């Protein structure tokens, strides 16, 4: 028994529209180009035929031909299980749409590989936005060779013509610890994320510096994975162990929420009398009435605004020196510290 190969339907072309409408190929192009000179009746006929045949111009090719830009902007995300990463990605995509750009999202894990990034760099990108994570700095070299602007968010990358937007992580942690100490907490634990990430290193440094200024030492330093479940497991381990803590600074809100749940449900602790808990980022859930998490605001709107500004300026001035913007953190006082 033989089987015939089924061919995939091909996209309708401008040439087919021109033939069906009895016009030239250039007339079809002008019909879809605002402001182009074309007889109104001819334009109306071309649009009617296009609708009947299901034709739409190839916007990618048209953009490259007319402006040299594809309007494609790739975003290498952080871990989308992390609420901060998912929330800022949504805001960033909305902002890019407002600029007339088409986001191409890659990843959703901190383990996104260089090979995967090289695959997306094969497309004619206007720019690549790298959101945090542990991606090697060699990506900057690849972007430079391809003349693709690179904007890094969530960390600082030292490379020529690379723009960065990053929270002042050490300052934010310092603010949080100062608040805990001001509320009489002296046995403070640090719950961080993956130790190799620069954001975790900076937040832990701020934690230790604030303690040292007050003549204190960390009661416990624990590392997890920036997840709710990781926070739950870590505080359970801490409270079941020999360490005695009255304050917990978490390097992000997701772990803080997990720690809050375990402290209340597993150990029956009163928050903040028995244990104060402070997070970092100020995700939407943190302000829910049933949670009211005290935290450090890593302003998403300002971060996205700066990314979009840097992108616009980089596209207009490709050779300008790289710029690094630090987002000033703010302590948000609620009910858990």
pLDDT tens, residue by residue, 146-173: 999 999 999 998 888 999 999 999 999 9
Higher-scoring residue by pLDDT: 33, 269? 269
Q: Is the pLDDT of residue 86 over 90?
A: no
Higher-scoring residue by pLDDT: 139, 78? 139
Identify the weakest region by mean pLDDT among 64-73, 210-219, 229-238, 270-279. Answer: 64-73
Domains 14-57 and 72-168+300-330 belong to one CATH topology? no
62 confidence band (pLDDT: 50, 70, 90): low
For 218-250, letters b (16+ CB in 10 Å) and e give: bbbebbbbbbbebbbbbbbebbeeeeebbbbbb
- For the four alpha carbons of 28, 33, 36 and 39, in that order, the dihedral sign comes to positive
Cα 12 versus chain centre, distance: 37
Residue 317 per-residue DSSP state: -
For 262, residues 6+ apart whose C-beta sits below 8 A from its C-beta are: 231, 232, 233, 235, 236, 239
Cα 236 from Cα 260, distance rounded (Å): 10
Identify the weakest region by mean pLDDT among 31-35, 48-52, 128-132, 171-175. Answer: 31-35
What Cα–Cα distance (Å) separates residue 83 from each residue in 59, 327, 333?
Answer: 33, 19, 20
Pull the structure tokens for residue 272.
């903040």
The pLDDT, as a whole number, for residue 326 is 97
Higher-scoring residue by pLDDT: 245, 115? 245
78 confidence band (pLDDT: 50, 70, 90): low
Higher-scoring residue by pLDDT: 319, 115? 319
Q: Is the pLDDT of residue 6 over 60?
A: no
At 106, which helix (H) or strand (E)? strand 102-106
Nearest to 135 by CA among 122, 152, 159: 152
Q: What's the predicted TM-score (pTM) here?
A: 0.83
The pLDDT, as a whole number, for residue 270 is 96
55 confidence band (pLDDT: 50, 70, 90): confident
59 confidence band (pLDDT: 50, 70, 90): low
Average pLDDT over every residue of 273-297: 97
Mean pLDDT of the chain: 89
CATH class (in words) of the domain with range 14-57 = mainly alpha
Domain ranges across the chain: 14-57, 72-168+300-330, 169-297
Average pLDDT over every residue of 19-28: 86
Nearest to 22 by CA among 39, 10, 9: 39
The pLDDT, as a whole number, for residue 60 is 65
Q: Is the pLDDT of residue 3 over 70?
A: no
Cα 72 from Cα 257, distance rounded (Å): 36
The pLDDT, as a whole number, for residue 287 is 95
What Cα–Cα distance (Å) separates residue 107 from each residue in 71, 119, 229, 255, 277?
Answer: 20, 12, 21, 22, 31
What Cα–Cα distance (Å) separates residue 254 from each residue in 224, 226, 261, 268?
Answer: 11, 6, 11, 20
The pLDDT, as a whole number, for residue 125 is 92
Average pLDDT over every residue of 194-216: 95
E-strand ranges in 188-279 read 188-192, 220-223, 247-250, 276-278
The pLDDT, as a whole number, for residue 118 is 82
29 backbone dihedrals φ, ψ, rounded to 5°: -60, -45
Average pLDDT over every residue of 18-39: 83
Cis peptide before 274 (omega within 30 of 0): no
Identify the weakest region by mean pLDDT among 62-76, 87-101, 175-189. Answer: 62-76
Percent of the chain with pLDDT over 90: 61
CATH number, domain 169-297: 3.40.50.2300
> What length does the chain have?
337
The CA-to-CA distance between both ends of the chain, in Å, stands at 75
The pLDDT, as a whole number, for residue 42 is 85
The answer regarding whether domain 72-168+300-330 maps to CATH 3.40.50.970 reads no
């Amino acid at each position: 028994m033989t089987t015939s190969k089924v061919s995939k339907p091909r996209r309708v072309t401008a040439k087919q529209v021109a033939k069906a409408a009895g016009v030239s190929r250039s007339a079809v192009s002008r019909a879809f180009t605002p402001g182009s000179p074309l007889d109104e009746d001819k334009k109306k006929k071309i649009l009617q035929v296009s609708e009947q045949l299901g034709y739409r111009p190839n916007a990618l090719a048209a953009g490259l031909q007319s402006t040299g830009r594809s309007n494609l902007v790739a975003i290498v995300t952080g871990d989308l299980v992390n609420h901060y990463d998912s929330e800022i990605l949504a805001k960033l995509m909305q902002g890019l749409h407002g600029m007339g750009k088409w986001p191409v999202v890659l990843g959703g894990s901190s383990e996104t590989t260089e090979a995967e990034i090289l695959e997306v760099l094969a497309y004619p990108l206007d720019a690549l936005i790298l959101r945090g994570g542990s991606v090697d700095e060699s990506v900057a070299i690849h972007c430079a060779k391809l003349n693709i602007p690179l904007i890094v968010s969530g960390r600082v990358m030292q490379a020529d013509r690379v723009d960065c937007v990053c929270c002042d992580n050490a300052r934010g942690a310092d603010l949080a610890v100062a608040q805990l100490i001001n509320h009489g907490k002296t046995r403070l634990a640090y719950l961080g994320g993956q130790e190799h990430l620069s954001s975790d290193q900076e937040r832990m440094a701020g934690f230790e510096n604030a303690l040292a200024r007050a003549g204190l030492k960390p009661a416990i330093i624990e590392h997890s994975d920036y997840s709710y479940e990781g926070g739950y497991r870590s505080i359970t381990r801490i409270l079941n162990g020999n360490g005695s803590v009255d304050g917990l600074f978490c390097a992000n809100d997701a772990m803080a929420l997990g720690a809050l749940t375990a402290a209340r449900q597993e150990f029956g602790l009163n928050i903040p009398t028995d244990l104060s808990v402070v997070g970092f980022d100020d995700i939407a859930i943190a302000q829910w009435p049933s949670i009211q998490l005290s935290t450090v605001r890593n302003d998403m709107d300002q971060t996205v605004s700066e990314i979009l500004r840097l992108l616009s300026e980089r596209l207009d001035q490709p050779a300008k020196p790289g710029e690094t913007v630090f987002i000033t953190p703010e302590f948000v006082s609620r009910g858990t510290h």
